[in-house]
Amino acid sequence: MPELPEVEIVKQSLNKSITGKIIKDILIKNRNLRFKIPKNFEKNIVKKKIIKVDRFSKHLILKFEDNSNLMIHLGMSGTIHLIRKSRKKNSMTNTSFYHSPFLPKKHNHIEIKIANFKLIYNDPRRFGYFSYFRNNEEMNNNFRKYGPEPFDPLFDKNYIFNYFKNKKKNIKNFLIDQNFVSGIGNIYASEILFLCKILPFKEVSSLSLNDCQKISYFSKVVLRKAIEKGGSSIRDFMNTSGDQGSFQKNFNVYQRENKKCLKYSCKGTIHKKFISNRSSFFCNLCQK
């Protein structure tokens, strides 16, 4: 599943391509995504001008000039393609983890026509979804259940320490819990905890205020670096310009099972353990 950095890169790419453009038409071929798309959905979108492409957590948000919003969640396998019409040929780009930029057309569930573009939503597993909000208040209410993003000043050592009081769950599960913090997923949780020197299965009630400071700090460090590197191309992730992310070249632990720890003074080995059916990677010596 694309995490905050990958969705941020798609947001930046779309902003360059479709901001200021008017949606000419929308074709829905399959309404049965994670949440069924209502029949009047198209009427809310057509002929509206996009003033900005925004993001919250792992959600893309197309903001319209009448203050309404179209929210897109890519789910596990959702892809956004931009097909640009040209005299020579159509050019296509892929913006997801999926293995190929040319996906089976049977999974093209939504087509949005914008000027000389077609924005196509392709989703083999159909865990993604589209939601329309009439105004910003409606949209903000939808996000009330989410925790702050890692970049939010609210996500500091005091927030983390107080949230963890008397709780038994392990730190890895908390980092991917969107009610605690928004946008972190499986990949970046492992990388953050490595830099914090904290084992992923450590119970949060045992963490010190200093540990919580590290979690706040290194969450920002890891995600900023991932955005700078264009995200992680685990399965050929690309932005709307067709460029791959390269943060996977900077992984310290993720998908490095049985390899030596990259820290100069450490003689440890990277281990893999399943926590709540999700793979977690960690150094057997660095992390305590």
Catalytic-role residue among 11, 58, 214, 229: 58
Has residue 249 got a pLDDT over 80?
no
Has residue 116 got a pLDDT over 60?
yes
List the chain domain ranges: 4-142, 157-233+249-283
Has residue 236 got a pLDDT over 50?
no
Q: How does pLDDT run across 52-72, given as a tens digit for each residue?
A: 999 999 999 999 999 999 999
278: β partners? 275
Longest C-alpha distance within the chain, in Å?
A: 64
Confidence of residue 259 (pLDDT cuts 50, 70, 90): very high
Q: Is 3 a catalytic residue?
A: yes
Catalytic-role residue among 2, 5, 150, 200: 2
Average pLDDT of the chain to the nearest whole number: 87
Give the per-residue pLDDT at 248: 54
Fold (topology level) of 4-142: N-terminal domain of MutM-like DNA repair proteins (3.20.190)
Catalytic-role residue among 52, 84, 220, 278: 278
**Between 246 and 56, where is the model more confident?**
56
Give the per-residue pLDDT at 95: 52
Q: Is 125 a catalytic residue?
A: no
> 209-228 vs 4-18: helix axis angle to the nearest 10?
40
Confidence of residue 183 (pLDDT cuts 50, 70, 90): very high
CB-facing half-sphere around the CA of 57: CA atoms within 13 A: 26
- Given the structure tokens 């450490």, which residue do they identify? 266
Identical fold between 4-142 and 157-233+249-283: no
Are 105 and 157 a contacting pair, CB within 8 Å?
no
Fold (topology level) of 157-233+249-283: Helicase, Ruva Protein; domain 3 (1.10.8)
> Alpha-carbon distance 269 to 259, whole Å?
6
Q: Is 58 a catalytic residue?
A: yes
Range name among 41-55, 98-112, 128-142, 154-168 with the lowest pLDDT average:
98-112
Confidence of residue 234 (pLDDT cuts 50, 70, 90): very low
Confidence of residue 94 (pLDDT cuts 50, 70, 90): low
Give the per-residue pLDDT at 271: 98
Give the per-residue pLDDT at 99: 40
